[in-house]
Amino acid sequence: MRCLLPAAIVSTLILPAVGHAQESQPSKPGDRLILSAGLGRIDCRCGITGGQLRAEYGDRLILSAGLGRIDCRCGITGGQLRAEYSLTPPEYVVGLRVQLGTFWAPTQRYSVPSVLFPDGGSFVEGVGQTTVLDFGVTGSLTPWPGGRVSPYVVAGLAALQTWTQGSAYYRSADGTAAWFLPPGSGGHNIRAIVGAGLRVRVSGRLLQLEARELRGSVSVVSLGTALHF
């Protein structure tokens, strides 16, 4: 009974108020404009993260260094330094880049077989040094650009300026110098670029391993990384 009495009193007080609230109330002209404020969030699936923003804007400039050789039988080797800037976001399957590179081969001696003379025992011997400066545009195809490991192929065109120093001569089978070649001075031309590589993301940093050839000029294997500013 002690429990039923308070419950009856509470129901007597509440129920009439609830019933009164449910009755239709006359609208007033001043109730047509309602101002509300609150907190919320955008419910979207855009999926943009800080790492993706960094990949889009921070991985466009890549600096690479590598070793290569001049595409000739003399086998002169040297090193290359190359900078590439992506005109398209790195997550695109088809990309476009501009590049500026330099290849330098220090002074080296070489000796290669020659078929200039019918005895088959002649050689081309000499000393050479080569510097190549190239500027080009390349396109790349990356099937899985968003992956942690992403292979790609690259092709394009480059304008080359070459400087050469040195001299050479043909040596016959009996050891005598048969024909001296004048020292080269270099020149400029346009070459095709072909290559393939692998991009790997390690701890948020993009690394690029690539084998590239300037057809008829230089072949290089390089390792590069994206520069963030």
**pLDDT at 93 (0 to 100):** 93
pLDDT at site 132: 92
| Structure token digits, residue 224 | 């590069």
Domain assignment present for 11? no
- Quick one: average pLDDT of 132-137? 95
Task: Look at residue 129 in the predicted model and tell me its pLDDT.
Answer: 85
Confidence of residue 126 (pLDDT cuts 50, 70, 90): confident
Please report which confidence band the pLDDT of residue 1 belongs to, taking 50, 70 and 90 as the band edges. Answer: very low
pLDDT tens across 61-87, in order?
999 999 998 877 677 889 999 999 999
For residue 173, what are the domain limits? 61-226
The string of DSSP letters for 46-105 reads ----HHHHHHHHHSSEEEEEEEEEESSTT--EEEEEEEEEESS-TT-SEEEEEEEEEEEE
Residue 26 lies in a domain: no
Higher-confidence residue: 79 or 176?
A: 79
Per-residue model confidence (pLDDT) at position 101: 95
Top-confidence residue, 40 or 131:
131
| Residue 119 included in any domain | yes
170 touches 198 (CB < 8 A): no
pLDDT for res 104: 93
22-36, 127-141, 156-170, 208-222 — which is least confidently predicted?
Answer: 22-36
> Are 210 and 224 within 8 A, CB to CB?
yes
Do the domain assignments include residue 205? yes
Domain presence at residue 215: yes
What tokens appear for 189 in the block? 């031309």
Q: Is residue 12 part of a domain?
A: no
What pLDDT shows up at residue 103? 94
- Count: domains in the chain: 1
What dihedral angle (degrees, nearest 10) is formed by the CA atoms of 184, 186, 189, 192? Answer: 80
Is residue 91 in a domain? yes
> In this predicted structure, what is the pLDDT of residue 118?
53
Mean pLDDT of the chain: 76
Per cent of the chain over pLDDT 90 is 37
Task: Specify the DSSP element, H or E, that contains 207.
Answer: strand 205-214
User: Which one of 10-19, 50-59, 217-226 scores highest in mean pLDDT?
Assistant: 217-226
CATH of the domain at 198: 2.40.160.20
Q: Find out whether 173 and 208 touch, Cβ atoms under 8 Å.
A: no
Per-residue model confidence (pLDDT) at position 199: 93
